[in-house]
Structure 1
């Protein structure tokens, strides 16, 4: 599957989800047996850990279709980059998507500032440059920061030598995306 075909397949699945016409593919015992000995996902997703954003469901995919890494704020920190490098470099996944979403709490925390308990501050620290880059743009401040954060994380992933090499060879496409919590629709972020 080419990177463009993988993106089309993913977006077609989201359209089915939005229209309540899910096929629920690859979610049976036969698929379980098929992928038990190995995986070949057609897309890798770096998604927020938010419980309302479940990539396999919102893209209408099944077992073994997606390689999903979830972390609050969909941030590309070392371990997440390493996981996506595995998907791209070892599994040969042709598509990598950074999936942000409407009303993201991690981005909102970065916008608001202030004290946070435990090590939550590490998430906010990774998002702050995106917040700063979005300042002064017209429109909703939080939405702008969320989309800016998606773009920042795409850039961070592109700095990986494994991912950069796959991009340069035309084996990989990387895109940013934004999930609307109210409609379920996913749109690409420039």
Structure 2
């Protein structure tokens, strides 16, 4: 996996976030001692924070995120770093991290940074932030502008009974159960529940 390092004092990362967010982000990056890297898309996470073997700290963020996703992910990871500095070893997404994340996000809850179509969902999510924004279906869809990646569709967009591919497995879309869809795995014939914001490929028979 190729990685493009972002120098700690530079502003190369600024093109990845809304312009009005740059000054406060620059303050956070300069205040806290870590290396920021922008990396290729990872299927299982948008970003991460870790302490390297030499004792230094590193934050990575995926390069395929739009500006609103990138900003939220970067602050999410900075919150892990600040939590580590303040509290040492605690639950990764426990009460300490939640409080730090909420505090760090406050300056960005601004209509000049996040559009009005996103702000209500973001504010609601921050009342009790989860480990992943993808777990909040409404926020996830709003951050993406209700537009799936090129060549993909959201599962709620395909008709009942349609076949689709998810992680190289073929499924059949079934009934909606409250907020999720029942989908039949065509290989093992087991039914799995999919969130509405899951992006899939339509199976072309």
More strand per residue: 1 or 2? 2
Regarding TM over 0.5, the answer is no
- TM-score of Structure 1 vs Structure 2, range by shorter chain: under 0.3
Q: TM-score, normalised by structure 1?
A: 0.23
Q: TM-score, normalised by structure 2?
A: 0.22
Larger Rg: 2
Q: Which structure ranks higher in relative contact order (CA pairs < 8 Å, sequence separation ≥ 6)?
A: 1
More helix per residue: 1 or 2? 1
